[in-house]
Amino acid sequence: MRLLKSRIDYWSNSRLANWVRGENKPYALEWHKWDEWKKEQKKKRPFRYWLSDTVLKKMQDIIYLPLDIYRTIKVYVRNRFFDKLHYLNTGLKKGEYYDLDYRMIHALFNELVDFVELELSHLSRYDKNKKYKFVKGRCQEAQDDYFRWANHLKQQGRLTEQAKASRKIKELYEWWKYIRPQRVDPYSSDSFSYDIDEILDNKNIKQKQKSYKKAYDLQEKYDNEDTEMLIELIKIRNHLWT
């Protein structure tokens, strides 16, 4: 079992570390920008950077070791028996049969919904100026505030990669949560007026073929849209972490 070091406060991010380093550590940067910042610090003041970002980190690891062991066991038990984060949850009704393609899209997008509502929304909790009311771990206001912040991150006047990914996450989330459920069933009584017995009947065959083709084309349109959205979700998978 890998030792878990998930902490809210890191000594290397503290005021003391900033004083030792001689420069304040950025609150947030894009992933590749962190590498650039670290290289710059090592070049400008190698010894002070070693003290602030290596020595302080090692000291914290030693002092926090008992607590890290406790948290590791606690998280393992919770993930293994309660949250069960080792598999994808489709959110589909239990006891029913669903084809694999149906399970696939529901599993991925249901996980996206949980990622937005349970993980991204909680990042807004770091704003000490607001108090959010979470119900079963979810809060619409906190979720909206996160996107309001992340969607407009800019560097040198241009949207960052994080902002672009955030906008795509929001787009896919809203499509699955609000737009897709509004689809009209291609084979409902409104769009497909014949059941199988009527189709096999030779009466009004042209009208039936026309009605069936209309329903088939609409279903094909839906399938193509689902495929496109799945591809878009896969493209941003590396941004689905907090």
pLDDT band for 10, please (50, 70, 90 cuts): confident
3-class DSSP state of 38: helix
Residue 175 lies in a domain: no
Burial readout 78-98 (b: 16 or more C-beta within 10 A, e: otherwise): eeeeeeeeeeeebeeeeeeee
Residue 70 lies in a domain: yes
Residue 63 lies in a domain: yes
Residue 72 lies in a domain: yes
31 has pLDDT over 80: no
Q: Please give the single-letter amino acid code of residue 221.
A: K
149 has pLDDT over 60: yes
* Percent residues over pLDDT 90 in the chain: 69
Structure tokens of 8? 């809210």
Please give the angle made by the CA atoms of 219, 222 and 226, to the nearest 5 degrees.
Answer: 140
Model pLDDT, residue 102: 96
Q: What is the distance between the alpha carbons of residues 232 and 168, in angstroms, rounded to a whole number?
A: 8
232 has pLDDT over 70: yes
30 has pLDDT over 80: no
Residue 225 lies in a domain: no
Q: What is the distance between the alpha carbons of residues 83 and 202, in angstroms, rounded to a whole number?
A: 55
Residue 61 lies in a domain: yes
Task: Report which of 88, 105, 100, 91 is spatially closest to residue 226, judged by C-alpha positions.
Answer: 105
Residue 2 lies in a domain: yes
pLDDT digit string, tens, across residues 63-74: 999 999 999 999
Model pLDDT, residue 1: 67
Q: What is the distance between the alpha carbons of residues 204 and 4, in angstroms, rounded to a whole number?
A: 69
Average pLDDT over residues 156-170: 94
Q: Please give the single-letter amino acid code of residue 188.
A: S
pTM beyond cutoff 0.85: no
Where helices occur in 175-204 by DSSP H, the ranges are 196-200
Model pLDDT, residue 39: 93
Model pLDDT, residue 200: 55
Residue 142 lies in a domain: no
DSSP E strands in 98-204: the ranges are 154-155, 158-159
Total number of domains constituting the chain:
1
pLDDT digit string, tens, across residues 99-147: 999 999 999 999 999 999 999 999 998 877 889 999 999 999 999 999 9
pLDDT band for 191, please (50, 70, 90 cuts): low
Domain containing 51 equals 1-86
- Of residues 209 and 108, the one with the higher pLDDT is 108
The DSSP bridge partners found for residue 154 are: 159
pLDDT band for 27, please (50, 70, 90 cuts): confident
Q: What is the distance between the alpha carbons of residues 213 and 101, in angstroms, rounded to a whole number?
A: 23
Q: What is the distance between the alpha carbons of residues 121 and 170, in angstroms, rounded to a whole number?
A: 12
pLDDT band for 242, please (50, 70, 90 cuts): confident
192 has pLDDT over 70: no
